[in-house]
Chain A
């Protein structure tokens, strides 16, 4: 079935460690997004990519990095520079080229820093 797969679903990290969250889609969508969700704050955009080999910072990009080497994949690295990384991370994709903005979401990855 087509969709978006995020892994791992749960992840624990020690302070000072980098960690990479995986996001893969087989929907043939051009655009991919990473959001962070914290209680009471809704979804905040970290990074997004409209096309392969190109990406833009969102509202809270500091302490995060991404790559878009393949259309299907948009991994997010949470670096040790991110001061408060414990959160629920959501990846999404959408078609582009006149698309009307509907996003398709993965099931999320919950990161806990110990």
Chain B
């Protein structure tokens, strides 16, 4: 089965500095990878996805992610952090198994991002 891992429970970054939130994946075949963001007591919002093509994917709110096949990573990045970026971030992978009709999204445990003023 496909899976993703987020090795950091929390990341602290000063406002204006670049930020990175890490994600590694384990898949068979070509991965479909995603990043979502969650603000307190809200649902998740889609940020970006990698399906195929360029390894650098650009998404909402100035975020981008770099797909690295050799390192099986899909880290989320932003060149200059804002206090309003403080939230819970989830990496996810699509898990497809045509034989038993499975087609679902599996999430990592989440990384809490704190942007310090």
Contacts and interface: CB of A to CB of B under 8 A. Distances in A.
Contacts of A100: 32, 49, 51, 94
A31 B34 contact: no
Interface string A18-31: 00000000000001
B46 A103 contact: yes
A66 interface: no
A105 B43 contact: yes
A50 B98 CA distance: 12
Nearest to B42: A107
A103 B38 CA distance: 13
A53 B46 CA distance: 27
Contact of A41 (B44, B51, B105, B109): B109
B42 A42 contact: no
Interface string B77-108: 00000000000001000100000011111111
A33 B105 contact: yes
Interface of B is mostly: strand
Interface in A79-111: 88, 90, 92, 94, 96, 100-108, 110
A41 B46 CA distance: 19
Contacts, number: 62
A48 B105 CA distance: 10
B101 A103 contact: no
Given A101-B105, A102-B34, A108 B90 contact: no
Given A50-B103, A56-B101, A56-B102, A42 B108 contact: yes
A16 interface: no
Contact of A40 (B42, B104, B109): B109
17 contacts: A6-B43, A40-B109, A42-B109, A43-B107, A45-B104, A45-B106, A48-B104, A50-B101, A50-B103, A58-B104, A88-B41, A94-B105, A101-B94, A102-B34, A102-B46, A103-B44, A103-B46
Interface of B: 9, 32, 34, 36, 41-46, 49, 51, 90, 94, 101-110
